[in-house]
Amino acid sequence: MSTRPNRKVLMGSYHLGDRAVPFIRRMEEAGLEVIRNPFGRIYTEDEVIAALPGVFATFASVEPYTDRVFREATDLQIVARYGVGYDQIDVAAATRHGVMVAMAFGTNHEAVADSAFTLMAASVQRTVTHHLRVRGGGWGMDIHPGLWRLTVGIVGLGRIGKAMARRCRGFEMRVLAYDIRPDVAFARENNVELVSLETLLRESDVVTLHIPHTPETDNFMNRERFGLMKPTAHLINTSRGGVVDEGALHEALAAGRISGAGLDVFKQEPPKGSPLLALDTVVFSPHSAGSNLTSEAAVGNRCVDSILAVARGESPGTEYLLNSEVLHPGRGRMSGRQA
């Protein structure tokens, strides 16, 4: 095996394009070779595998990191996820193959909460419907509820859910929350009512989802749970598309069993051919909830910090690793090898 240090970093994220982003320059100035995504879209599994020989780190987007990828990518030491979701990464497989999975926790939750609140306001107030009506030469309004003092149900009271709760306080909203491990102190200090999921669904004017997509949360919002919601209620999803049964959501909206939805994420992205696209009761955004100038810099720099640490033969910090067990002697690909 060659003793020449491996200096290649693969950029999975395609939306950065060829932009001269400061956090990418940090890697280049450190002597790393940054390989940009040439496709202008998400890598397929085969494309990831073909790109990884000689690569020690990936600045990962939502391309697939499967057992097959980790098995083939013998030079890979770290996947630094440009974001906080990791359902596209087989973490157990990464661990078996000694590859660290580093996250950017605590960097974009305020941006996601901004977007969730915006989608909520647009959905409740029929903003897009009114916009398109006027732009098309029409007139007339749809009478809708106001935002002030609505009841908002937050499913998942983590960083993003808490940020959402703080925003709701400014509109004097009643805030309900459901979480399997609730932060009782935060709830008490911020006048958040911790309730059962059934109570939250029955009493909320808006249900906003802030949970990860796992086998346990797959199709979390299903036909039965939509049936518990008010006919005037709205669903907001800025988490992951897999937590919503999109067929059941379409059915509930088309039948008037709920009033509207704001969706940033989908099971298939982009959601080409989805019947949801034909409904004027849904507001859409392109999986952009966590992206603004502030969060892009914070997330990017956190990823770069992890990559540069590994390039120096150091740990990114266990607080950012999903699988810190790979740091144990003999487990990780850092052992006996320089990045």
Q: Which amino acid is at 141?
A: M
Residues 49 and 158 in one domain: no
Residues 66 and 95 in one domain: yes
Residue range 311-337, pLDDT digits in tens = 999 999 999 999 999 987 556 665 433
Q: Other CB atoms closer than 10 Å to residue 174's CB: what's the count?
A: 16
Q: Length of the chain, please?
A: 339
**In the prediction, which pLDDT does 29 show?**
96
Q: Is 315 left (phi over 0), alpha (psi -120 to 50) or beta?
A: beta
270: cis peptide before it, omega within 30°? yes
Residues 71 and 153 in one domain: no
pLDDT band at 247 (very low <50, low <70, confident <90, very high): very high
**In the prediction, which pLDDT does 86 show?**
87
Residues 187 and 302 in one domain: no
Residues 127 and 40 in one domain: no
pLDDT of residue 206 exceeding 70: yes
pLDDT of residue 75 exceeding 90: yes
Task: Report if residue 151 sits inside a domain.
Answer: yes
321 Cβ neighbours under 8 A, 6+ residues apart: 100, 101, 102, 103, 315, 327
18 Cβ neighbours under 8 A, 6+ residues apart: 36
pTM for this predicted structure: 0.85
What's the domain count of the chain? 2
Residues 150 and 277 in one domain: yes
Average pLDDT over residues 111-133: 96
Least confident of 1-10, 34-43, 118-127, 249-258: 1-10
Write out the residue range of the structural domain in which residue 151 sits.
109-284
- What residues act catalytically? 240, 269, 287
**In the prediction, which pLDDT does 331 show?**
60
267 Cβ neighbours under 8 A, 6+ residues apart: 241, 242, 244, 246
Q: Is 194 left (phi over 0), alpha (psi -120 to 50) or beta?
A: beta
Q: How far apart are the first and last CA of the chain?
A: 13
Residues 220 and 277 in one domain: yes
Residues 51 and 147 in one domain: no
Task: Report if residue 304 sits inside a domain.
Answer: yes
**In the prediction, which pLDDT does 16 show?**
82
Residue range 263-316, pLDDT digits in tens = 999 999 999 999 999 999 999 999 999 889 899 999 999 999 999 999 999 999
**In the prediction, which pLDDT does 1 show?**
31
Least confident of 9-18, 184-193, 309-318: 9-18
Task: Report if residue 257 sits inside a domain.
Answer: yes
| β-bridge mates for residue 81, sequence order | 60
Residues 120 and 246 in one domain: yes
Residues 227 and 280 in one domain: yes
**In the prediction, which pLDDT does 18 show?**
78
Is residue 78 a contact partner of residue 316, using CB atoms and an 8 Å limit? yes
DSSP 3-state of 33? strand
**In the prediction, which pLDDT does 2 show?**
36
pLDDT of residue 14 exceeding 90: no
CATH number at residue 302: 3.40.50.720
Q: What is the mean pLDDT of the chain?
A: 93
What percent of the chain clears pLDDT 90, i.e. is strictly above it? 85
pLDDT band at 171 (very low <50, low <70, confident <90, very high): very high
Task: Report if residue 335 sits inside a domain.
Answer: no
